[in-house]
Amino acid sequence: MVKKILTVAGSDAGGGAGIQADLKTFEEYGTFGISSITSILTVDPKTKKPSIYPIPIDIVEKELDTAFSGGALDALKIGLLGSLPVIDLLEHYLVKVNQKNIVLDPVMAVKTNKDVLQPELVNGMIKKLMPLADIVTPNLVEACILSDMPTIETEEDMRKAVKKIFDLGPKSVIIKGGARFKGDVATDLFYDGEQLLFIHEDKLDTVTNHGAGCSFAAAITAGLAKGLTLESSVRLAKKYVTSAIKHGLYLNDFTGYVWHGAFLEATNRMTLGDD
């Protein structure tokens, strides 16, 4: 049976991250994607400044009513929340339907801008959504905020941060050190209360990484929906997103999108056959 997954996130006007990354990734995993859009995110081409346009809360409520009309989904991913009332609303639904396989991508910063987006939402997210999550997927900036650490520069810092974030109540955490982590290799750290697992990959020398974080979390969600363990979901998601970055699409010399269809060579699909 095809697994059904809901993403509650922002719509990326660029098309590589947010809801767009999630739905494309779910499809690549052979799962059925449903979306509740919390906000629309645009980026000014000149200043690189992102803007968030929240969807009115009564509309988000109707979206969630529609999405949950058959009860809990096989898995659920949370991305950009967009506005404060979305947190309470979402918590209400997750508890009501007893939703399992919840992936929380604590989106607080986008690559084009180092400022924290919507800092007023962080506490609500920590208190209400973190304890419901099977896995939380912060990048280094988000991990510093969640662990209340000024910097994370060494593997020792990462160990300390991952444990502090785990203590906020999720079943597991993966810190995406990625290419921004100091040193020669891209380093992530997974922790589920028992196992501390470093995942190392070669650093990829490319700018085609817009959407990498969202696609990674979406891939973990799809893995869980298909019955993989947390560790296997994380390992497969890492391979999926590495391939998506490697085969990314340039938008200009400075930036580009990950290619969500790279892992299974979607460019070769639906071509006209000879007969």
**Where along the sequence are the contacts to ligand PXL (CB under 6 A)?**
9-12, 17-18, 41, 79-80, 107, 110, 213-214
56 versus 227: smaller Cβ distance to ligand PXL: 56
DSSP assignment string, 55-104: PPHHHHHHHHHHHTTTSS-SEEEE----SHHHHHHHHHHHHHTT--SEEE
Which residues touch 69 (CB under 8 Å, ≥6 apart)? none
A 10 A CB-CB count for 268 gives 8
Least distance from ligand PXL to the Cβ atom of residue 79, Å: 5
Distances in whole angstroms, Cα of residue 216 to Cα of each of 53, 272, 273: 24, 31, 33
Name the residue with the smallest CB distance to ligand PXL: 18
Contact predicate 250/233, CB 8 Å: no
Least distance from ligand PXL to the Cβ atom of residue 23, Å: 12
107 versus 192: smaller Cβ distance to ligand PXL: 107
55 versus 192: smaller Cβ distance to ligand PXL: 55
Least distance from ligand PXL to the Cβ atom of residue 148, Å: 22
Least distance from ligand PXL to the Cβ atom of residue 214, Å: 5
A 10 A CB-CB count for 167 gives 12
117 versus 132: smaller Cβ distance to ligand PXL: 117
Q: Is 250 helix (H, G, I), strand (E, B) or coil?
A: strand
Least distance from ligand PXL to the Cβ atom of residue 269, Å: 26
87 versus 226: smaller Cβ distance to ligand PXL: 87
